[in-house]
Amino acid sequence: MTTLTVVQAVNQALREEMKRDDRVVLLGEDIGRNGGVFRATEGLLDEFGPSRVMDTPLAESGIIGTAIGMALYGLVPVPEIQFLDFIYPGFDQIVTNLSKFRYRSGGQYSAHVVIRAPYGGGIKGGHYHSQSTEAYFAHTAGLKVVIPSTPYDTKGLLKAAIRDPDPVIFLEPKKIYRAVKGEVPEDDYVVPIGKSKIVKEGSDVSLFAYGTMLHVALEAAEEAAKRDIDVEVIDIRTLVPLDIDSVISSVQKTGRVLILHEAPKTGGFGAEISALISEKALEYLKAPIIRVAGFDTPFPYTWESIYLPDAFRVMKAIEKIMQY
């Protein structure tokens, strides 16, 4: 075992997969000599050369379009979008082309692309560098959407994504790039896509979260324990495909549900989890489902700490659901 940060886990996963499979190539803005804006690809250009670690122009449509072409010719491109907020020039390429190649070709072609992008707030990036728009991609059939929360899962899920034949949107919570450390095996391993994880067992409330918000959930669960409230914390990890069986199993145990994410509440992925629970486990609920999320506003700069859910807001929701 070795102790890594989240961004180091990204770097290690990319290095190991590039060594394992010479079809894996990286492309993106400043990812070569500069190692990317967050240094996630630092050192990889020197190790693998410019034919496999490619700096690109500042043109997201070109980055994604090039990656799709590479994939159709048998490569395994892993493009980096500097911030998820910048992905929209390439949005049409993703939802119109990348997501549909396998379906439209009757399975003859698969666009084996893993799009990496830092997402979310917490670094004072303002409204052009802090958005959480994972629900846009979860709505698009043909894409898998993965969001890790720990170094262990970051490395294991990224390796699994690179080995997966389907296109994957791999979103990295930038606030915890260097703020969270954890033990990571030195041996090869993958974390299966489509499986959630019970991070803390509990019997009173099921608290579902992903990305940076997992750590907020654990902080709130610790505070709840001081008040004799036993919170079960589940890391969703993969939005698409969603591990709905594990979600329902937890709901059946606790009967109370709280869903936490930093994306705006309206149309956020928490709404999908809530709807599925209502459809499949309504008879087990002891109280209404509560969502704690970002607000339905542009992401603020000055009021970032108020916009982002914190343990205080989550604790208030836990108390409310317990008093119902």
Which residues have a catalytic role annotated? 129
b (16+ CB within 10 A) / e for 66-92:
bbbebbbeebbbbbbbbbbbbbeebbe
Tell how far CA 200 is from the center of its chain.
19
From the list 244, 161, 164, the residue with the least C-alpha distance to 206 is 244
Helix 213-225 and helix 311-323, axial crossing angle in degrees, nearest 10: 50
For the chain, the first-to-last Cα distance in angstroms comes to 45
Residue pair 256/287 in contact (Cβ under 8 Å)? The answer is yes
DSSP string, 187-223: S-----TT--EEEE--SSEEEEE-TTHHHHHHHHHHH
Q: What gap in Å lies between CA 176 and CA 150, rounded to an integer?
A: 8
Say how many residues make up the chain: 324
DSSP string, 126-186: GGGS----HHHHHTSTT-EEE---SHHHHHHHHHHHHH-SS-EEEEEEGGGTTT-EEEE-S
Q: What gap in Å lies between CA 116 and CA 114, rounded to an integer?
A: 6
Grouping H, G, I as helix, E, B as strand and the rest as coil, residue 295 is: coil
Residue whose token pair is 């890790």? 148
Residue pair 259/317 in contact (Cβ under 8 Å)? The answer is no
Q: What gap in Å lies between CA 245 and CA 96, rounded to an integer?
A: 30
